[in-house]
Amino acid sequence: MTQQRWAKIEEIYFGALSQPAQERPAYLEAACSHDSAMRREVDSLLAQDHSGAGPLDRPAWADAEALLTPAAAPEMPPGTRLGPYEITGLLGQGGMGRVYAAHDSRLGRSVALKVASTEFGDRFRQEARAVAALNHPNICTLYDVGPNYLVMELVEGPTLAERIRKGPIPPAESIEIARQIAEAPEAAHERVVVHRDLKPGNIKIKPDGKVKVIDFGLAKATDPASPAPGTPSVSLPGTIMGTAAYMAPEQAAGKPIDRRVDIWSFGGVFAEMLSGQKVFSGETISETLAAVMKDSPRLDGLPSDLPTALRKLLGRCLEKDPRKRLRDIDRGSQSYPGGRPRG
């Protein structure tokens, strides 16, 4: 969704709030014209506004589209140079910028170059500090940092999202992938780093079967002076960062977070591998976040012969109350056949 479209949705939303209840339907019909998608977005926001309060008093997830839609990073055609790196093609666009394949002329190797918009420059430097502190076979390696770009390991192979689109992944294969996924946040948590955006699109499966978490784009180092590993990070209240379908309730509400948001996301990813369907979904981002906040996780598609221990593990990962949630991925290791997850 473009920022211009969100601005229009927001304009209609506030306009609807100013209308008497009996006149809102006619106002919305005229304002949205024949744009049914826009009408659904506005209706979704209105459905969450129980008090008619101003924008600063609404829950953070009511403004989901605006908060989750970053400014566009600059487009760079093949041949563009950033220092010693020459762009060879566009790989994709993530929550913090465009990702390009590039050639490192100094070392003669292919790399992934993630270029940020100026708006996200500070977050990219934050990402660099977080990722540079991590050295693990299941975490994508950071090579270099530029003024507004990161140079990272180029990981071949499909994303887990692409694999899931083909259908549910058999339990044995899902468990092996989950073993490796779990290693990445576990290593990050040991360095007091929270990923905050663990999802199938940020996980790649190399041709040799090795799993890599490729994007710590929303990673945030929690306060190193925290008295305990579970202490909330210094995330600002009211700020949403992450992907709606995999976002923990406290994260969706813009509350302080800790490592347990990654536990939640891991549970959602693991369940999606097994069932082929997201545990939370909606027609709009706002509806998806509302489901995260209020609904039970959708686990009806799990294999009927899935071990009880794994079902319990998923349930503990997806506890809405973080105080009841599994606190460490390593604590669920007894649920994996063979014990502790291994890379």
Catalytic residues: 197
Measured at the alpha carbon of residue 73, what is the angle toward residues 235 and 284, in degrees to the nearest 5?
65
How is 110-168 classified by DSSP, letter by letter? EEEEEE--GGGHHHHHHHHHHHHT---TTBPPEEEE-SSEEEEE---S-BHHHHHTT-P
Contact 166, 158 (CB under 8 A): no
Give which of 222, 279, 225, 204 is closest to 247, Cα–Cα. 279
CA dihedral 248, 251, 131, 343 (to 10 degrees): -10
Q: Which residues contact 270 (CB under 8 A, 6 or more apart)?
A: 174, 178, 181, 313, 314, 317
Distance CA 231, CA 321 (A): 15
How is 309-324 classified by DSSP, letter by letter? HHHHHHHHHT-SSTTT
